[in-house]
Amino acid sequence: MTTPAGPLAIRPPYRLRTPRLLLRCMEPSDAALRKDAADSSGAFLEHFFPPTPEGPMSLDAHAAQIRKLRANFDLDQDRAHGAFEPETGRMLGEGGLIKRAGIDALEIGYWFRHDATGQGLATEMVSALVKTAFEFDKVKRMDLFCAPDNERSAAMARRLGFTFEGRLRDRQFAPHHPRGDLLCFTLLASEYPQTRAHQLPLEAFDFLGRRIA
């Protein structure tokens, strides 16, 4: 994938297509789809969607989060993409490119519904965002953090060519995150051409739906 010359080159894609997924900026109508993905996953996603005393996270709470995520996306701040089945529209997960990694760097974060794991779809989603970060955002480094007991995420980071840099002790990057140790993985721009993300077929479309890659 090559990015176009001129003004479009600096505009982030709003929609991405991979062989099996549609990734896009989220909309108000996605709140119910997001709630279904979270509720159907139960304890598997409690870290991302902690239950309240009244039960699972409400539809209004999901809508409020989507409203904030969409605002950040439109302001070219953190960019969260929902991942959907192209044929059915079912929401499978969410992947974000987060701007707290420093200059010319992005952090990647994601979640995926439990009944869609084990098929390589989460890896495909993360690969698409890695490709976007290096080829559109032109970052020099990407970071991926996970809890020490999150073997799935650690294995994915290694599959995608990230290097384990160490264990960060007693960290909390956001108020809604639990405090604790984190494993730190990084991928450099010089290493990206040798990764599976670089080989992923990807189509990208701008805010107006025009193809830009």
Residue 132 and residue 13 in contact, taking contact as beta carbons nearer than 8 Å: yes
Residue 16 and residue 200 in contact, taking contact as beta carbons nearer than 8 Å: no
Spatial distance between the Cα atoms of 119 and 152, rounded to a whole number of angstroms? 13
- Residue 6's pLDDT is 44
The SS3 of residue 131 is helix
pTM of the full predicted structure?
A: 0.90
92 vs 181, residue with greater confidence: 92
- Residue 11's pLDDT is 74
- Residue 106's pLDDT is 97
**Taking 50 as the threshold, does the pLDDT of residue 7 lie above it?**
no
Position 158, amino acid: R
Span 120-173, pLDDT tens digits: 999 999 999 999 999 999 999 999 999 999 999 999 999 999 999 999 998 888
**Taking 90 as the threshold, does the pLDDT of residue 99 lie above it?**
yes
Span 10-24, pLDDT tens digits: 578 999 999 999 999
Annotate 179-208 with DSSP letters as a single string.
PEEEEEEEEETTTGGGSHHHHS--EEE-TT
- Residue 170's pLDDT is 87
Spatial distance between the Cα atoms of 112 and 26, rounded to a whole number of angstroms? 15
Region 28-40 average pLDDT: 96
Span 164-212, pLDDT tens digits: 999 999 888 877 677 889 999 999 999 999 999 999 999 999 999 999 9
- Residue 10's pLDDT is 53
Region 99-111 average pLDDT: 95
pLDDT band at 40 (very low <50, low <70, confident <90, very high): very high
